[in-house]
Amino acid sequence: MKLKPNIATSEAGFIFNPATGDSFAANPLAADILARAKAGLDAAAIKADILTRYDVAPGQLEKDWDDLLAQLRDFNLLDGSGKWEAGSEEQAMGKAK
């Protein structure tokens, strides 16, 4: 699974799905994660970078990461079946293997 290729994102956190017309506001960290994912970084690299820059415990980040993926899936922004598969975070965030 990965972010649908037609999803448009902006630096300010505006997300637009041209297929449905739905739009979303991402907070700064979510916008940053999506931008990095689109740039090709894998999940491990993005998380490692967040841990160095933000005051957050690894366990909290993992929990929030899962929640972000759940939101992406719920908002129909992920490519593929939309079915969550454990261990497929990197694919989900745009780096298909």
Partner 1 sequence: MKQPYERPTLRKLTAGALHKFGPRAGAAPTTALDGVPVAELVARFGSPLFVLSERQLRRSYQAAVRAFGTRYPAVQLAWSYKTNYLNAVCRTFHQEGAWAEVVSGMELEKALLNGVPGPHILFNGPGKRRAELERACEVDAVIHLDNADELHLLLDVAVGRATRPRVALRVNLDAGIYPQWDRFGFNLENGEAWQALSRVVASGQLALVGLHCHIGTYVLQPKAYGTAATKLAAIALRCQRELHTAVQYLDLGGGFPSTNTLKGAYLPAADTVPPLDEYAETITNVLLGAGFPADELPLLVLEAGRALVDDAGSLIGSVLANKRLADGRRATILDFGVNLLFTSFWYDHHISPTREFSDHTEPTVLYGPLCMNIDQLRDSIALPLLAPGDTVVVHKVGAYNMSQWQQFINLRPNVVMVDEAGAVHLIRAAETLEYLQQLERVPAHLAGPRLSS
CA dihedral (42, 48, 51, 54) positive or negative: negative
Rounded least distance, CB 30 to partner 1, Å: 4
Q: Does 48 bind partner 1 (CB under 8 A)?
A: no
Shortest separation between residue 20's beta carbon and partner 1, angstroms: 11
| Residue 28 makes contact with partner 1 by CB under 8 A | yes
3-state DSSP call for residue 38?
helix
Is residue 68 a contact partner of residue 3, using CB atoms and an 8 Å limit? Answer: no
Contact residues: partner 1, CB under 8 A: 15, 22-30, 32-33, 52-56, 60, 64-65, 67-68, 70-72, 74-75
